[in-house]
Chain A
């Protein structure tokens, strides 16, 4: 063992100094550096995004309750080191002189909000600025709508229940206001200390309570584990940022999946480069192993020497890789500092662990087969150089490499689906390539015969080195495919995010427009050059029963509140719309849309599929609603899928107009007003004082900002993966250059012109690059289809352009790299070339 160690160390020292380990070392450095930089960056970015999304619930976790909870629960949280805050909300009438209005009252403690900011403004509907203080006892902050409705000024006194409080600020926004254009009353923020004086939270009042928590996620999880057995599903609801079902939540979740995908692909790229480098390393050591065996070394000794050497290489590679990866990531984050909020202060151990684990696993598992080959080199090779390793089972190599890749992917992602999709695509690619190579060889047999032109030489070489070329082809194609997947996914994802919020997205909603106001408002908008959207009729209905079954037990108040923030109004109180025209973003997936209803048939109703699933509603079910004092019955005749990502009013229930003919409708619409015209809003809406106006610009800007940040981060991750891929390609070309050395030396010795040799090598690489690009485009299409439909929940799309781009880029890049490698070799004189062969 001591001797083996000495020999291994000696070989390692000399080879490292002489640059003979560069390729395998570079591959390990690359794998560790790319995995570390990607995971560290994505972890930090995810933390930043999580912090952003935490703002939407004003905390990391939130407990909602219909009753005030036991104070011991909160004390327990504080004892565990968690920060807590509190909010009580209810609807209450507010009086200011002769004016009165129903308000959405929020009473908060001084800790509120734990995440995000309360913003105030100087003028109604003006731009919000961070308040930087809490609402004090005796004070009340009211929003712009309430400010207008009550017609008050700052300093005015208003009555809430039995208390009189002073208006000190115009409230612009609170972080967890939610996003609902229905049933939203103007908001009022007051101190929780004044609630008792108002007497609004007495018996019979509909009050709900929110308790906010922030802290270490492990502590929060532990606390939730402690709390969960005490919660009553009918009364309490625990929400975390991970549960965020809003468009932002989904965008962030999708981005996280993309980071995961990019990191996985970086691991596969690294694995491919290590496999290539290890194969080359093994082949270079065939002679030394044969010599050692001839001189009396046992198999065990050879094994020890080379396993130790691989360990030394791995350790060095990992050390350099960690350094490079950290610097790379730090560089990217510094470059992005003013665009993406990523904290540099925190050091995450998990990415380091993953990177080291990847380095070790890749280096050892991917060197295993080449090493086994090396150990099997017969000593007789010292007499017969043509003797190769006796271990030649390709199947074994595929099993080793395949299992290693799959295990790494699975271990890293903890996601069987993504791992399986990528792995399956890889297997498909390998199979297609093997078939393609076979066809190429057949074609080459015809093309490669004839006079000694550069193309003829290239084809002849491809044919002769069929197996070697097929392995090379596969590794080129896998690299190109992985790069395509990352590139196309990024393009599709960013496009979809941007499409979600195109220029001119409505930033104001108008509700409570009466039938008589509708046409006048349309005219008024046109006159004032305001681009408005469709007007939808809406009525508030109380959902009573499905067939004869009362739904009270199935839809709780909590569901309603959560839904209100994400999906606008599901619960016993439901927003009903009606019409015969299907809204944009709606697709009937079952049954028939009710545009050709006949008199005498039951009144038809269309329901959104997810709600139908949740309430177990099927086609043909009879639903009953109370609207005002009337009872409406309708039969479910169609189910719709709705694109909730659009910021358009959408409805769970759409009835036929027949059902609502006895009701006077109110309407809802939306419109866009440029930033420059925002000060005009009060003037524009002044003639329609009774309609309700919602400014959702802040929310849209917030959404847009996040999408921009995520897109930017995704682009940088793409660049990192591209660099990794480029390095892999270089390693592959360099490895294959060794194989060409002998032939180049012979051709050169025989007097063939350098230019002919150069062109023949370039042509060979161009052919390989073209085929690899074509195959990569095929496998890319398959994996993208699977990823988009199964993982990212995006509509699948065909990427025809890449069928042309991939082969061209493959030919150019691989050909160029081949030319560079060939130039390096041909710059050596013939004598040097021949000596290198020995």
Chain B
């Protein structure tokens, strides 16, 4: 059961994978919640399970056990099609490798989620947001004609076009130099604040993580809160 202000809630969430050496549990039971409008950083070393958790929270992957509620909807009970619909309606994504469709222009990439979810006037909305990210002069350029920083700004614009309730960002500055990282970072937090979107940010950049209201650290599949009063949140309520 979620409270009105809780946007994400997990209960004893676990993930197991089958390997050649048998079944391997890569996420220990995780229980935590995120409030609407909060910004949360998930930090941790490579292989600690950050991206796996992100995949589950965003409905990209199936849970092996436990519960996930996303804006009141029980994600763990949904099939792939329902999860896709939920993602389209409520979730935005930003990835380390930008994940733009190479055959579409910057403008068309931004329009893509709006068109998929059936928004009205997707082109007009895309042009507005493209202007917001300062790339209106690059609207008809293809991704390979843009710099890394520009591509990530297009990806951010794409993430915000549907006014998502939650934004998942996986190492958004991981592929960028410090100058571009800074620009992208600023843009991300600015848009996040303006649209009152919940931000779940996966990073191993402590500085970037520190800009979030909360920091959660993943280590060997376990999640710990790392705010003023550190507490272990793995292992149930």
The chain A residues found within 8 Å of chain B, CB to CB, are: 3, 6-7, 10-11, 14-15, 18, 20, 287-288, 290-299, 301, 378-380, 382-385, 835, 838
Alpha-carbon separation in the docked complex, A700 to B51 (Å): 83
28 A-B residue pairings within 8 Å (CB atoms): A3-B116, A11-B104, A14-B105, A18-B103, A287-B101, A288-B102, A288-B103, A291-B100, A291-B101, A292-B112, A292-B116, A293-B84, A294-B93, A295-B93, A296-B84, A296-B89, A297-B88, A298-B81, A298-B85, A299-B84, A378-B60, A378-B61, A379-B60, A379-B87, A380-B61, A383-B60, A383-B95, A838-B97
Q: Given A380-B61, A382-B93, A383-B54, decide whether A6 and B115 contact each other with a Cβ distance below 8 A.
A: yes
Are A10 and B116 in touch, CB under 8 angstroms? no
Interface residue total, chain B, C-beta cutoff 8 A? 35
Alpha-carbon separation in the docked complex, A385 to B58 (Å): 17
Alpha-carbon separation in the docked complex, A380 to B87 (Å): 12
What's the nearest-Cβ distance from chain B to residue A5, in Å?
11
Are A296 and B87 in touch, CB under 8 angstroms? yes
What's the nearest-Cβ distance from chain B to residue A178, in Å?
69
Q: Is B80 an interface residue (CB 8 A)?
A: yes
Q: Given A296-B89, A297-B116, A838-B97, decide whether A383 and B51 contact each other with a Cβ distance below 8 A.
A: yes
CB-defined contacts of B102 to chain A, threshold 8 Å: 287-288
Per-residue CB contact flags for chain B residues 154-166 toward chain A (1 = under 8 Å, else 0) read 0000100000000
CB-defined contacts of A380 to chain B, threshold 8 Å: 55, 60-61
Alpha-carbon separation in the docked complex, A11 to B109 (Å): 11
Are A295 and B95 in touch, CB under 8 angstroms? no
CB-defined contacts of B58 to chain A, threshold 8 Å: 294
Beyond contacts A296-B88, A297-B116: 12 other A-B pairs, Cβ-Cβ < 8 A, are A3-B115, A6-B115, A287-B102, A292-B101, A296-B86, A296-B89, A296-B116, A299-B80, A301-B116, A380-B61, A384-B55, A385-B97
Per-residue CB contact flags for chain B residues 59-72 toward chain A (1 = under 8 Å, else 0) read 01100000000000
Q: Is B99 an interface residue (CB 8 A)?
A: yes
Q: Please name the 8 residue pairs, one residue from A and one from B, whose CB atoms are nearest each other, closest first.
A: A296-B88, A295-B113, A288-B101, A380-B60, A14-B103, A15-B103, A297-B116, A379-B60
Are B81 and A382 in touch, CB under 8 angstroms? no
Nearest CB in chain B to that of A835: its residue: B144
CB-defined contacts of B108 to chain A, threshold 8 Å: 10
CB-based A-B contact count at 8 angstroms: 89
Q: Is B210 an interface residue (CB 8 A)?
A: no
CB-defined contacts of B118 to chain A, threshold 8 Å: 3
Alpha-carbon separation in the docked complex, A14 to B107 (Å): 13
What's the nearest-Cβ distance from chain B to residue A828, in Å?
13
CB-defined contacts of A294 to chain B, threshold 8 Å: 58, 60, 87, 93, 99
CB-defined contacts of A295 to chain B, threshold 8 Å: 87-88, 93, 112-113, 116, 158
Alpha-carbon separation in the docked complex, A551 to B180 (Å): 103
CB-defined contacts of A290 to chain B, threshold 8 Å: 99
Q: Given A3-B118, A380-B55, decide whether A297 and B104 contact each other with a Cβ distance below 8 A.
A: no
Are B116 and A383 in touch, CB under 8 angstroms? no
From B54, B86, B99, give the contact of A287 (CB < 8 A).
B99
Pick from A15, A379, A383, A385 the residue with the most CB of B within 10 Å.
A383
What's the nearest-Cβ distance from chain B to residue A8, in Å?
11
Q: Is B25 an interface residue (CB 8 A)?
A: no
CB-defined contacts of B193 to chain A, threshold 8 Å: none
Q: Is B170 an interface residue (CB 8 A)?
A: yes
Nearest CB in chain A to that of B148: its residue: A838
Q: Given A15-B103, A294-B60, decide whether A384 and B113 contact each other with a Cβ distance below 8 A.
A: no
Q: Is B117 an interface residue (CB 8 A)?
A: yes
From B54, B99, B117, give the contact of A296 (CB < 8 A).
B117
Nearest CB in chain B to that of A14: its residue: B103
CB-defined contacts of B113 to chain A, threshold 8 Å: 295-296
Alpha-carbon separation in the docked complex, A390 to B99 (Å): 20
CB-defined contacts of B85 to chain A, threshold 8 Å: 296, 298
Are B117 and A383 in touch, CB under 8 angstroms? no
Alpha-carbon separation in the docked complex, A7 to B102 (Å): 13
Alpha-carbon separation in the docked complex, A295 to B117 (Å): 8
CB-defined contacts of A385 to chain B, threshold 8 Å: 97
Nearest CB in chain B to that of A379: its residue: B60
What's the nearest-Cβ distance from chain A to residue B230, in Å?
27
CB-defined contacts of B54 to chain A, threshold 8 Å: 383
Alpha-carbon separation in the docked complex, A293 to B84 (Å): 6
Alpha-carbon separation in the docked complex, A109 to B99 (Å): 83
Are B115 and A11 in touch, CB under 8 angstroms? no
Pick from A295, A297, A380 the residue with the most CB of B within 10 Å.
A295
Are A382 and B95 in touch, CB under 8 angstroms? yes
What's the nearest-Cβ distance from chain B to residue A372, in Å?
16
CB-defined contacts of B142 to chain A, threshold 8 Å: 14, 18
Are A7 and B115 in touch, CB under 8 angstroms? yes
What's the nearest-Cβ distance from chain A to residue B117, in Å?
6
What's the nearest-Cβ distance from chain A to residue B123, in Å?
11
Nearest CB in chain B to that of A12: its residue: B103
Nearest CB in chain B to that of A11: its residue: B103
Nearest CB in chain A to that of B54: its residue: A383
Alpha-carbon separation in the docked complex, A293 to B61 (Å): 12
Q: Given A292-B112, A296-B88, decide whether A384 and B51 contact each other with a Cβ distance below 8 A.
A: yes
Alpha-carbon separation in the docked complex, A14 to B102 (Å): 10
Are A299 and B116 in touch, CB under 8 angstroms? no
What's the nearest-Cβ distance from chain B to residue A454, in Å?
32
Alpha-carbon separation in the docked complex, A287 to B118 (Å): 22
What's the nearest-Cβ distance from chain A to residue B98, in Å?
8
What's the nearest-Cβ distance from chain A to residue B42, in Å?
13
CB-defined contacts of B116 to chain A, threshold 8 Å: 3, 292, 295-297, 301
Alpha-carbon separation in the docked complex, A6 to B108 (Å): 11
CB-defined contacts of A383 to chain B, threshold 8 Å: 51, 54-55, 60, 95, 170
Alpha-carbon separation in the docked complex, A798 to B133 (Å): 72
Nearest CB in chain B to that of A290: its residue: B99
Alpha-carbon separation in the docked complex, A567 to B61 (Å): 78
What's the nearest-Cβ distance from chain B to residue A745, in Å?
15
From B80, B99, B104, give the contact of A382 (CB < 8 A).
B99
Are A297 and B103 in touch, CB under 8 angstroms? no
Are B60 and A382 in touch, CB under 8 angstroms? yes
Alpha-carbon separation in the docked complex, A328 to B81 (Å): 49
Alpha-carbon separation in the docked complex, A294 to B142 (Å): 20
What's the nearest-Cβ distance from chain A to residue B15, in Å?
11
What's the nearest-Cβ distance from chain B to residue A108, in Å?
72
Alpha-carbon separation in the docked complex, A3 to B108 (Å): 13
Are A298 and B84 in touch, CB under 8 angstroms? yes
What's the nearest-Cβ distance from chain B to residue A513, in Å?
85
Nearest CB in chain B to that of A16: its residue: B103
Alpha-carbon separation in the docked complex, A259 to B170 (Å): 60
CB-defined contacts of B81 to chain A, threshold 8 Å: 298-299
Nearest CB in chain B to that of A294: its residue: B93
Alpha-carbon separation in the docked complex, A301 to B84 (Å): 11
Alpha-carbon separation in the docked complex, A7 to B113 (Å): 11
Alpha-carbon separation in the docked complex, A80 to B139 (Å): 69
What's the nearest-Cβ distance from chain B to residue A302, in Å?
9
From B60, B61, B88, B104, give the contact of A14 (CB < 8 A).
B104
Alpha-carbon separation in the docked complex, A299 to B116 (Å): 12
What's the nearest-Cβ distance from chain A to residue B183, in Å?
20
